[in-house]
Structure 1
Amino acid sequence: MDWFTINNIDEIDSPSLVLYEDHLLSNLKMMIELVDGNTSRLMPHIKTNKMPEVIKRMIAFGIKKFKASTIVEAEMASQEGAEEVLIAHQLVGPKIGRFIDLIKKFPDTKFSTLVDNISSAEKLNNAVKNENLSINIFIDINSGMDRSGIKIGKELDELINSIRKFNNLKFRGLHVYDGHFRDIDFSVRNEKIEAEFIPIDKYYSKLKTDFPEIILICGGTPTFTSHILKNDRIASPGTCVFWDWSYDEKLTEQQFNFAVLIVTRVISKPTDGIITIDLGHKSVASENPIDKRIKFLNLTDYELLSQSEEHGVLRVKDSEAINVGDVFFAVPYHICPTVNLHEYVSVIQNHKKISQWQICRAR
């Protein structure tokens, strides 16, 4: 029997997500083993899983700090007992007020957010000037990805000098996301990461003189195995909790297991050699080319020809052997946005659905 087989599959609708709890737990254990059991060096990003039940299991393993993308994710982690949550986005508009409400609602959780310019820092400072509150901030460093952050240099010096003057802000450290490194060869990837980090390391060491309690939060899953080699860095992997086809191909030094799959069924056989499944782009991340969206575990010799909202059309070698209603199990190429498309996951233990977990999709 294949590891992904589900004996009561008729109880599971499609298209939907199924979570194999033994693989989830083994991934969490492996993540902790990679930091030699020192969970203080982990701040996993919860944008991948978005589930209270997963957070509970992380906390049970001793992981108490988390990174989040949304206010709702941060609230979810706090409700489950997280000691610290960093919202890894620069807050704008109504999110500033929502963030302050979160701080008030969960006083036992230390919340932080990112800034990369003086204006944003000043807005945060002014937002609580009449409150008995301070806001923890990390400076978002642009190491070369050019997606967000501020580069090492004069403007960063000016930002730090301004933060010193803002009485309602507490400077917690630096945040660096270097997700642009995707080399398959780990030695090549690691060399590029460390070369880019040279000015960051120097700047961070200098800052520690004036701010001895600051910390350095680094990377995501692609750079996880590099940053854990440096004891002064806190790593923020996220995808490795569930794993996906993309990283399984690219990050060959990381041996995590597929913990979440998509269940899909054949709904039509419109012509010879063609089958249609109920897996459209409403149910799996579709930002990548058509050949980089799903990989089937129990189907060979196929080609995904097209997707619409509710349909996926495949060319298969032996369509006569496939019947309407047949079930396929698929690994998403990109798990994070795929999870965000669903309301819940069916939890599988010993080849049987035993529960259902809610996904916190709201922002």
Structure 2
Amino acid sequence: MNWYEIKNIETVDSPSLLIFKDRLIQNIDQMIAMVDGDTNRLMPHVKTNKCIEVVGLMVAKGIKKFKASTIAEAEMAAMAGANKVLIAHQLVGPKIDRFNQLCKTFPKVDFSFLLDNASHLSNLNTKFIAAKVQVNVYIDINNGMNRSGIKTENLNDLINKINACETVNLLGLHVYDGHHRQVNFEERLEKIESDFSNIDTTNYEVISGGSPAFNIHSKNKNRICSPGTSVFWDWGYGEKFKEQGFKEAAILVTRVISKPSEGLITIDLGHKAVAAENPIDRRIKFLNLNNYVLLSQSEEHGVLSVENWNEIAIGDVFYGVPYHVCPSVNLYEEMGIVVDNEVQEYWQVIARKRKITI
């Protein structure tokens, strides 16, 4: 039996998300090994898994710091036993009050968020004075990705303004270099370190990178690493960053629901069941089907051209690895947990919600 096949597949509806627990645990162990066992240097991003039980497995292995994208993800991490959570966004609108409530609900957890704008700092300080709260922040550095962050030439000015605020405490710097995804490791290393050399990190805790840069930042003991995809891995990163040694742990299950014309089959995996932000040929890789082309997707249908059309029957099961696992997980309310090739239980993807309780 292949590693991805399920003995009790007749009990598994489709489309479904399955997580192979042994591979998940191996990936967590690999993350820890890459920082030489120093779990204090890990701050995994929970946006990939959004699941209390998955974060709980990391907590049980000594990983206590996490990064989140949403208030809900931060709440989930706290529920799972995290003692430090960074919300990797600059808080605006109602999220400011939600953050305050988060801190009150979990007083033993050190919550923080990102800041990159002096004017917004002034607004936040006024609001936090009124609320009589103290908050922690990391300055977000624009390291060339141009998605968020302050330019390095403006860094010292923002540091001085934060230090002058009575409600805002500066914990360190956040440097995300997700734009560097070069397949060649040496080229990726050169680009990442070249950009990093422009930042004076001497006196600050530095949270750096994501999964593509993990095996680069992990070699520098002064940097905290924030891999996210690493827990589940996927086709996209597995194709580009083979040297990292992670295993694909997330599988999507789909079935054939029609054979509309010779050479064509339709499966129940549309773009509501797998991340569809990439071109059609970069969405899912089937492990038990050869010589196929995914021609199109609609909401609940996927149409493939196949060479072995006569051999395929309605109801046949295909197992696929998503190209981008993070948004694929976000499409499912639960994940089936596979042990010894059997789905034994289901874990809720609770933080796919924008709001859990706060």
With normalisation by structure 2, the TM-score equals: 0.97
Find the counterpart in structure 1 of residue 352 from structure 2: 361
Deviation at 1:6, TM superposition (A): 0.6
Find the counterpart in structure 2 of residue 156 from structure 1: 155
Asked whether 1:86 is paired with 2:86, we answer yes
- Contact 1:145/1:178 (8 A) holds in 2: yes
- Listed as ranges, the matches of 1:209-220 within 5 Å are 214-220=204-210
Find the counterpart in structure 2 of residue 196 from structure 1: 195
Deviation at 1:132, TM superposition (A): 4.0
Find the counterpart in structure 1 of residue 169 from structure 2: 170
- d(CA) in 2 for partners of 1:125 and 1:98? 16
The counterpart of 2:215, out of the listed 225, 233, 245, is: 225
Find the counterpart in structure 2 of residue 264 from structure 1: 254
Find the counterpart in structure 1 of residue 267 from structure 2: 277
- d(CA) in 1 for partners of 2:325 and 2:107? 32
- d(CA) in 1 for partners of 2:304 and 2:145? 36
- Contact 1:124/1:135 (8 A) holds in 2: no
Amino acid at match of 1:361: R
Deviation at 1:125, TM superposition (A): 1.7
Give CA deviations for 1:109-161 in whole Å, capped at 9, x if unaligned.
Answer: 000000001122222222221344210000000010000001110x2222111
Asked whether 1:2 is paired with 2:20, we answer no
- d(CA) in 1 for partners of 2:126 and 2:99? 14
Asked whether 1:306 is paired with 2:303, we answer no
- d(CA) in 1 for partners of 2:102 and 2:123? 17
Q: Which runs of 5+ in 1 are unaligned?
A: 209-213
Find the counterpart in structure 1 of residue 108 from structure 2: 108
- d(CA) in 2 for partners of 1:176 and 1:193? 11
How many residue pairs match? The answer is 353
Deviation at 1:24, TM superposition (A): 0.3
- d(CA) in 2 for partners of 1:130 and 1:273? 67
Deviation at 1:166, TM superposition (A): 0.6
- Listed as ranges, the matches of 1:330-345 within 5 Å are 330-345=320-335
Percent of paired sites with the same residue:
56
Amino acid at match of 1:181: H
With normalisation by structure 1, the TM-score equals: 0.96
- d(CA) in 1 for partners of 2:137 and 2:60? 27
Deviation at 1:204, TM superposition (A): 1.6
Alpha-carbon RMSD across the aligned residues, in angstroms, is 0.8
Find the counterpart in structure 2 of residue 296 from structure 1: 286
Runs of 4+ in 1 over 4 A off after TM superposition: none
- d(CA) in 2 for partners of 1:169 and 1:74? 19
Give CA deviations for 1:301-345 in whole Å, capped at 9, x if unaligned.
Answer: 000000000000000001000000000000000000000011001
- Contact 1:125/1:135 (8 A) holds in 2: no
- d(CA) in 1 for partners of 2:319 and 2:119? 49
